[in-house]
Structure 1
Amino acid sequence: MSVLEIKDLHVSVETEQGTKQILKGVDLVVKTGEIHAIMGPNGSGKSTLAYTIAGHPKYTVDSGSITLDGEDVLAMTVDARARAGLFLAMQYPVEIPGVAVTNFLRTAKTAIDGEAPSIRTWGKDVKASMKNLRMDSSFAERNVNEGFSGGEKKRHEILQLELLKPKFAVLDETDSGLDVDALKIVSEGVNRAKANTDLGLLLITHYTRILRYITPDFVHVFVDGRVAEEGGPELADRLENEGYDRFLTDVAEEENVS
């Protein structure tokens, strides 16, 4: 069992108005085999947490720690984090002109494993994963995400997840922009990846609809850069019925008092 642990994490970002603190003391422990849903309103710090774990240079860690099996993640380069077993599925996957999907995937797999996969086995794995994700085989020869629809981009993210087999995956609003059919296909891919590798998941979302297909073990509500409440799947159902108003009211009252 591997453990991803976040302790008292404070993160800031530079804006036109100056330095803005986004995360204000986040504590979180995720073990392989667990699914943690991170929910909350816009601007609460969910994506900041995702990109800080991945090592995006835009975000500055002011204090706190992130460790993977006791190793300091914050001291690792971005590529070292990937080799250590961390994976980020982006909310807005970028296009990479001139780089074919098939070359991108094989290069990434080689970099993470330290050796090139067997061409014969790798080809079968890629074809099987693409078939499961309802991706036409022609996608393998197209440039990464170039001309892809929103749903195709998200399925390509999950294709990477299935093939690269990380220890922990952070899915940053993978459900955004997906219709019902695409949401089911993507969710099935995530569940397959978890079943095959005992994956640990941080699933970031605004809504509960993806949680109908991917059942979380834990739900964490992010508000104003902090974890405001934690619980099991029933907490997501409560949020579906009540929304985030009560949390936002508490934050407003705290700011008025201070």
Structure 2
Amino acid sequence: MSTLEIKDLQASVLLDDENSKQILKGVNITINSGEVHAIMGPNGSGKSTLASTIAGHPKFRVDSGSVTLDGENVLDMSVDERARAGLFLAMQYPVEIPGVTTSNFLRSAKTAVDGEAPSLRTWTKDVKAVAEQLKMDPAMIQRNVNEGFSGGEKKRMEIMQLELLKPKMALLDETDSGLDVDALRVVSEGVNRAKESNDMGVMLITHYNRILRYIKPDYVHVFNDGRIVEQGGPELAVKLEEEGYDKYVAAAAGR
């Protein structure tokens, strides 16, 4: 069993060499293996900053607090060390990597994370099986990473990495954005497969309840103004869909 523990995390975005702006203002979350924690809130509330800070994005600076994975200090690790420790970030806006084929990228990533290259015969079968389950054109595997991919294809590519790399903890940053109904179902099924096959913990960042109809959360955290302002179970996501975030935004403005 693995545990990702975030304690009183405060972090700032670096605007330039001299200026920064505080975004996270004391975040506390504990995620165990097999749990799904939905992080919901309005735009600009700090949700993506939370995921990027945990993953080690250089644009964000940790001011105080701690992040540990199985008792190990994540904040002392380089980005690649965090990946090898079992953290995975599915980006909100996956980037294109010209000149690097998807097949080479996936195998190189698997080798880096596991510390040894997978058997080519087994690996080829695994990649093909995941591509079929995600309803991806096999030809995409020979194309450059995300180059010319649609928004939905890029999100499927993120989930393909998730299924093949088998992390302990997945940080999914608005994986549902830009997906139609069919793609949303396929991507959600991929997340659920990865979770069940590897007893993976999930932090799922989203604005909407629709993806939570497919990926059932154990806990829902409402995020606003860089902190968690309310917590509950799946019923809280339904309430948010009906009532929106206005009361949380108003409360923050009144502080």
* TM-score interval for Structure 1 and Structure 2 normalised by the shorter chain: over 0.9
* Residue of structure 1 equivalent to 2:7: 7
**In structure 1, what is the Cα distance between the partners aligned to 2:126 and 2:223?**
37
**In structure 2, what is the Cα distance between the partners aligned to 1:4 and 1:14?**
25
**In structure 1, what is the Cα distance between the partners aligned to 2:166 and 2:112?**
13
* Residue of structure 2 equivalent to 1:98: 99
Matches within 5 A, 1:206-221: 206-221=207-222
After superposition, the C-alpha distances for 1:138-195 in whole angstroms (9 at most, x for unaligned) are 0110000000000000000000000000000000000000011110110010011111
The 3-state SS of whatever aligns with 1:74 is: helix
* Residue of structure 2 equivalent to 1:124: 125
TM-score when normalising by structure 2: 0.98
Q: Aligned pair 1:59/2:60, yes or no?
A: yes
* Residue of structure 1 equivalent to 2:161: 160
The 3-state SS of whatever aligns with 1:48 is: helix
Shift in Å, 1:18: 3.4
Matches within 5 A, 1:55-94: 55-94=56-95
The 3-state SS of whatever aligns with 1:171 is: strand
* Residue of structure 2 equivalent to 1:234: 235
* Residue of structure 2 equivalent to 1:249: 250
Give the 4+ runs in structure 1 shifted more than 3 A. none
Percent sequence identity is 72
**In structure 2, what is the Cα distance between the partners aligned to 1:22 and 1:175?**
23
**In structure 1, what is the Cα distance between the partners aligned to 2:249 and 2:154?**
33
The 3-state SS of whatever aligns with 2:254 is: helix
* Residue of structure 2 equivalent to 1:107: 108
Q: Which amino acid aligns with 1:4?
A: L
Shift in Å, 1:248: 1.1
**In structure 2, what is the Cα distance between the partners aligned to 1:51 and 1:249?**
26
**In structure 2, what is the Cα distance between the partners aligned to 1:148 and 1:249?**
39
**In structure 2, what is the Cα distance between the partners aligned to 1:29 and 1:14?**
26
Q: How many residues align?
A: 254
The 3-state SS of whatever aligns with 2:172 is: strand
Shift in Å, 1:136: 1.0
TM-score when normalising by structure 1: 0.97
Q: Which amino acid aligns with 1:3?
A: T
Shift in Å, 1:14: 2.4
Question: Gaps spanning 5+ residues in structure 2: where?
Answer: none
Shift in Å, 1:252: 1.4
The 3-state SS of whatever aligns with 1:146 is: coil
* Residue of structure 2 equivalent to 1:20: 21
**In structure 1, what is the Cα distance between the partners aligned to 2:253 and 2:153?**
40
